Amino acid sequence: MNKTVPETRGFFKEFASLVKDAAGVDIVVAPAFTSLYAAAESVKGANIKIAAQDVFYEEKGAFTGEISPSMILDCGCSHVIIGHSERRQYFNETDEVINRKIRAAKKNGLGVIFCVGESLAERESGKTFDVLNREIEKGLENIGGDNIVVAYEPIWAIGTGKTAAPSQAQEAHACIREKLRLLYGNKAAEIRIIYGGSVTTENVDSLMTCEDVDGALVGGASLQADSFARIVKFKTEAR
């Protein structure tokens, strides 16, 4: 919940110029709902796509305050984030609700960034893999694997300044990859798994050396054009 419409326009004016030469990456930015249209207008002709931060699973009707997939498309979005830990934590979104949202988004042709991840208590009690397997199985129930990106976001590392060590990130991403293989077979290799959890300019390079880390879901560091651009243009020879 950051940036007004004028602030959003100013951000993209700076950011688009910084990443115009970024090669080998897809850039998707998810502003607040009120700034989606302005953001989409700001990136026309640029190598940047726009996503919404959430979506409702009905197309229209008496659902005050909700935003449908077609409304998101109408704003110029190509993607939507679904199942973010803050939606699960603060708005009590269940795996079943998330599954309905993914179905609605895909039915309307939106690319889905599907978030999964464990809490600190779950990690400390050795339940990380159980949580990831459950959230993926229920969230993607009866859903094809096309046009989906899975984002691993350890809840204990979001906005806390804590970051999963590269080995921890790789371990979780490998678990997710294996679960996707069970669901989709060889097609799982085509599904990107990205890491989200206090990604910064200081740690992105080491995170991106991990075999199964295909990108980053960036939070606070994306609010400043220069730091976000540096993350987009991560430096590693291992990929």
Residue 7 in tokens: 């602030």
- Whole-number mean pLDDT of the chain? 95
Question: How do residues 146-164 score in pLDDT, each as one tens digit?
Answer: 999 999 999 988 777 777 8
Q: What pLDDT sits at residue 9?
A: 98
Q: What are phi and psi of 209, to 5 degrees?
A: -80, -10
* Least-confidence region, from 68-77, 93-102, 125-134, 161-170: 161-170
CA–CA gap between residue 213 and residue 24 (Å, rounded): 15
Residue 107 near residue 58, CB atoms below 8 Å? no
Q: What pLDDT sits at residue 237?
A: 56
Q: In one letter, which amino acid is 206? A: S
Confidence bin at 197 (pLDDT 50/70/90):
confident
Share of the chain above pLDDT 70, in %: 98
For residue 7, give every residue at least 6 positions away whose Cβ sits within 8 Å of its Cβ, in sequence order, or none.
none
Q: What pLDDT sits at residue 162?
A: 75
Q: What pLDDT sits at residue 221?
A: 95
What is the pTM for the complete model shown? 0.95
Share of the chain above pLDDT 90, in %: 91
Q: What pLDDT sits at residue 164?
A: 84
Q: What pLDDT sits at residue 188?
A: 94
Question: How do residues 25-50 score in pLDDT, each as one tens digit?
Answer: 999 999 999 999 999 999 999 999 99
What are the extents of the domains in the chain? 5-232
Which residue, 82, 137, 134, 83, is CA-closest to 108?
82
Confidence bin at 191 (pLDDT 50/70/90):
very high
3-class SS string, the chain: CCCCHHHHHHHHHHHHHHHCCCCCCCEEECCCHHHHHHHHHHCCCCCEEEEECCCCCCCCCCCCCCCCHHHHHHCCCCEEEECCHHHHHHCCCCHHHHHHHHHHHHHCCCEEEEEECCCHHHHHCCCHHHHHHHHHHHHCCCCCCCCEEEEECCHHHCCCCCCCCHHHHHHHHHHHHHHHHHHHHHHHHHCCEEECCCCCCCCHHHHCCCCCCCCECCCHHHCCHHHHHHHHCCCCCCC
Starting at the earlier edge strand, list the strands of the sheet with 48-52.
Answer: 27-29, 48-52, 79-82, 111-116, 148-152, 193-195
Question: How do residues 81-102 score in pLDDT, each as one tens digit?
Answer: 999 999 999 999 999 999 999 9
Check pLDDT > 60 for residue 239: no
- Fold of the domain built from segment(s) 5-232: TIM Barrel (3.20.20)
Question: How do residues 56-71 score in pLDDT, each as one tens digit?
Answer: 999 999 999 999 999 9
CA–CA gap between residue 33 and residue 39 (Å, rounded): 10
What's the distance, Cα to Cα, between the start and end of the chain in Å?
33
Work out the number of other CB atoms within 10 angstroms of the CB of residue 112. 27
| Residues taking part in catalysis | 84, 153
CA–CA gap between residue 224 and residue 239 (Å, rounded): 26
Q: What pLDDT sits at residue 238?
A: 45
Residue 139 near residue 95, CB atoms below 8 Å? yes
Residue 40 near residue 77, CB atoms below 8 Å? yes
